[in-house]
Structure 1
Amino acid sequence: MPKLNYRNVEANGLRMRIADHGEGPLVLLCHGFPESSYAWRHQLAALAEAGYRAVAPDLRGFGGTSVPADTEAYALQHLVADMVAITDALGAKNAVIVGNDWGATLAWHAALLRPDRFSAVAAIGVPIMGQPPVPPTQIFPQTEDALFYTLYFQDEGVAEKEFEADIRRTLLKIYYAASGEAGPRIEGDGTPNPFGMISRKGGLLSSLPMPERDLTWLSGGDLAVFVSDYAQSGFRGGLNLYRNLDRNWALQAAFAGLKVQMPALFMVGFRDSGLSMPGMRQMIEAQKTLVPQLHEPIFLDACGHWAPQEQSARVSENLLRFLAEVAPQER
């Protein structure tokens, strides 16, 4: 089980725990939900060995980082400010920013809003998307019996109560169901998608299977680290990201039509649960209009939503190939 070099920095009024590895051009690695900086354990080692300073923070509200009490403190522009402040705290003029899941959304916004501080961007799992005509919560589906998971997360305390009742069970069920190990996504068949429609009565976890053994990409020791991180922070910070979807939409109106004008990389697993969402492949194809310097998207065979963990070597190789172009080390 990898041991990370954790330390705390003061950034944007928060105490932020970061895993800080290596020396060289700075690469910020932003995790998703429900993860923490430990999700980047393999890339931290690979990038440091290749001559980069790889830094993975626990985002605000996660793990060892401060947990602001105000729900609105989790709007994306605050998270972008955190990444700028970390870059400052580390004494760097700029950085390459990388993200998976919510971290990908953060990375896209950081690249869009602060091209003076972020020189290139790599996103995994979540493509950059244009501004929808109405607030996101008005688009997500719901029926009398079920609602889309992002709507299930809106009521404060509901998902927290379900998830925190047994943290290990929660994480293992979600990690497995959204991974490539759960099998291909087949409409109406196979493992239920944790990021799909949720029973109003049963909650998110009741329909998800509990794996009978350790996952091939997640040892018992690895899982214990994530359990410890969520025992420390709880789930509220991560869930508050979803509670700011409409606020993010409103704030982003000022930047509608703005393009990401820097080199960019996008990766996604063929078995990513997000690919089963209607229109997702079309959104991936449409990214080039929003990111003119986007490389050809990379699809990872037999890989689910947790690509940096599930296929760590391939993700690291693709990142290093990209970094060699956009952030070459000084010789």
Structure 2
Amino acid sequence: MKFSINDVTLNVVVEGDERAPAVLLLHGFPDSSKLWSGQMKPLLDAGYRVIVPDLRGFGDSDAPAATSAYAMKNSVDDMITLMDQLRIDKFKLVGHDFGAALAWSLAISLPERVERLVVVSVGHLGSYFSAGGVDQKKASWYMLLFVQEGKAEQLLQADDWRLFKAITSPGVPEAAHKAYIADLSRPGRLTAGLNWYRAGHSIETFVSLNANPDVPGVQMPTMGIWPTGDHYCLETQMLASEDKVPKGCWRYEKLQSASHWAPRDEPEKVASLLLDFFKQDFPGS
């Protein structure tokens, strides 16, 4: 389905009964709504309605040229408007990679509407660098490349996308690499994806270990999923996210056999965790 939202047209997969409880699934870089294909059917079979957008710049959604178009606040507004257009008041929220960062931001903005929050790999924005420290900054080296306009595009595409393939391996099969490259080879699409980082990060981000220390916490039960094979988002920053969640409302799950791309590596396990968490009892929920 196509939705005209905030001067962009977003492609959104919407399936399930309109009366069913809703789940909003948010992908990261360099993915699209297809990331969640392994979780959609189990959620639908369990009686949920799924809403899975191609975020701006990805998949079949529009890709504005301006870097500022990819500021987090714009995508938060996109998701709020999307759920309003679908007339969905309350929903469960799941995010991976910068889709997890968007999910944290959306949950902070809509405490009365987000019933449950699930984040994969990326912990709370106020803990990511401050708790992860120097080691997390080292693991996030690719961000230093991504924010360099022009240079990043050149290096990632050089020698048949050799660096891009290295960054997205292990964990991404060859067929997925080909699909990514075909998608990002469209005019302006690689830059659009990188603009997500450029709009939210800078070289200065890496100077202070206390980047974003004042970001507020969330108010709903939250589950953090961290795969042991994630070389980019360290466990420390995810564990520290517990401090940003109401007492007794945090659940942590470690996946032993997954890379950064856990929804693709362990689709059944991630789906099972989602379904179990959505029905789990928490204080005040």
Provide closer, same or farther for how the CA distance between residues 170 and 151 of structure 1 changes in structure 2, counting only shifts above 3 A: closer
Superposition deviation, residue 254 in structure 1: 10
Residues 1:93 and 2:89 are matched in the alignment = yes
d(CA) in 1 for partners of 2:157, 2:236: 36
- 3-state SS of paired residue (2:148): coil
Deviation digits for residues 151-185 of structure 1 (CA, Å, limit 9, x no counterpart): 111221222233346777666543323x2x8xxxx
For 2:277, give the aligned amino acid.
Answer: F
Amino acid at match of 2:191: R
Q: Which sections of structure 2, spanning at least 5 residues, go unmatched?
A: 206-210
Seen in structure 2, the aligned counterparts of structure 1 residues 56 and 258 have a Cα distance that, compared at 3 Å, is same
**Which residue in the other structure is 2:113 paired with?**
117
The counterpart of 1:237, out of the listed 177, 182, 192, is 192
Task: State which of 203, 217, 232 in structure 2 corresponds to 1:274.
Answer: 232
Match of 2:229, SS? coil
The residue that corresponds to 1:286 in the other structure is: 240
* Structure 1 pair 226–149 and aligned structure 2 pair: CA distance change class (3 A): closer
8 Å Cα contact 1:26-1:55 kept in structure 2: yes
Cα distance change on mapping 1:260 and 1:75 into 2, 3 Å: same
Shift in alpha-carbon separation, 1:264–1:257, aligned structure 2, 3 A: same
- Check conservation: 1:64, 1:229, Cα contact below 8 A: no
Q: Spell out, residue by residue over 1:183-213, the C-alpha distance to the aligned partner (whole angstroms, 9 max, x if none).
A: xxxxxxxxxxxxxxxxxxxxxxxxxxxxxxx
1:104 aligned residue: 100
Residue 152 of structure 2 corresponds to residue 159 of structure 1: yes
Unpaired segments ≥5 residues, structure 1: 1-6, 142-146, 182-214, 327-331
Asked if the contact 1:30–1:37 (Cα under 8 Å) also holds between the matched residues in 2, the reply is yes
Question: Do 2:13 and 2:33's aligned partners in 1 also have CA atoms closer than 8 Å?
Answer: yes
Is the 8 Å Cα contact of residues 27 and 97 (structure 1) preserved in structure 2? yes
Taking every aligned residue pair, what percent have the same amino acid on both sides? 32
Q: Which residue of 2 aligns with 1:176?
A: 169
Residue 52 of structure 2 aligns to a residue whose secondary structure is strand
- In the superposition, relative to structure 1, how do residues 18 and 228 fare at CA in structure 2: closer, same or farther (>3 Å)? farther
Structure 1 residue identity aligned to 2:84: D
| Structure with max Cα Rg | 1
Per-residue CA shift, 1:236-257, capped at 9, x if unaligned?
122111112348x8xxx99935
Q: 1:86 to 1:266 in 2, by over 3 A?
A: same
1:155 partner SS:
coil
2:259 counterpart SS class: coil
SS at match of 1:123: strand
The number of residue pairs the alignment matches comes to 266
Correspondence for 1:62: 58
Q: Distance in 2 between matches of 1:281 and 1:226?
A: 27
Cα distance in structure 1, aligned partners of 2:122 and 2:167:
17
Give the distance between the partners of 1:167 and 1:126, measured in 2 at CA.
29
Using the TM superposition, give the Cα deviation of residue 74 of structure 1 relative to its aligned residue in structure 2, in angstroms: 1.0
Instruction: Answer whether contact 1:98 1:123 (CA < 8 A) is retained.
Output: yes
What secondary structure sits across from 1:176 in the alignment?
coil
Q: Residue 9 of structure 1 corresponds to which residue in structure 2?
A: 3
**Is 2:72 the partner of 1:76?**
yes
Q: Is the 8 A contact 1:271 1:303 kept in 2?
A: yes
Amino acid at match of 1:262: M
CA distance in 1, matches of 2:91, 2:4: 18
CA contact (8 A) 2:15 2:49 kept: yes
Q: Is the 8 A contact 1:63 1:230 kept in 2?
A: no
Decide whether the 8 Å contact of 1:140 with 1:151 is kept in 2. no
1:244-275 Cα offsets, whole Å, 9 max, x none, are 2348x8xxx99935220011111011111135
CA 1:325 to 1:34, structure 2 compared with 1: closer, same or farther past 3 Å?
A: same
Structure-2 change in CA distance of 1:235 and 1:264 (3 Å) = same
Contact 2:226 2:238 in 1 (8 A): no
Q: Deviations over 1:275-308 (max 9, x none)?
A: 5xxxx43332222211125433100012110000
Q: Decide whether aligned partners of structure 1 residues 255 and 174 sit closer, same or farther in structure 2, where only a CA change above 3 A counts.
A: closer
Contact in 2 for aligned 1:164/1:235 (Cα 8 Å): no
Q: Which residue of 2 is the match for residue 203 of structure 1? A: none
